[in-house]
Structure 1
Amino acid sequence: MTTKKTPLPKPRYLTISYQVYESRHQDQERRYRPRQVPFLRLSGDWLFAAGFAVGQKARVQVTDQGIVILPEG
């Protein structure tokens, strides 16, 4: 007997925003001007459906083709 699996959510299309990154180096000569870095925020019930819970750790792996985010534990 097989069990029915819940269908996976549809793909999400997100917009990469930016966040201002400021150097906090103690040596003034090694500090640089604030700059914009890519920023992505994820939230929604679909994360829970994908196995993520509030307060849970997640592993982020950068590959040559993108980013993989997996729930830990």
Structure 2
Amino acid sequence: MSENRVVQGRMVTPKKLAELVEGDSVMEAEAIEDADRDCPDCGGDVISVTYMPSVTELVTGYKCQDCDWRERTDA
């Protein structure tokens, strides 16, 4: 059930969104969700995705749909 979203004018899958946040490839990603917050840079809508960059790590990534802003936190 991986719902794609538009980010900066491009359609992305959950895995691709996770890779945009991480800056590298990821092992697995869950569904994209609305983060219910605004981008601190441009005020645009922020979406989130929980993913595994490695076998032992679970991360939640946040990405603005309109600009380059991104952030990651340990899930």
| Structure with the larger strand share | 2
TM bucket, shorter chain: under 0.3
The structure having more radius of gyration, on CA atoms, is 1
TM-score, with length taken from structure 2: 0.27
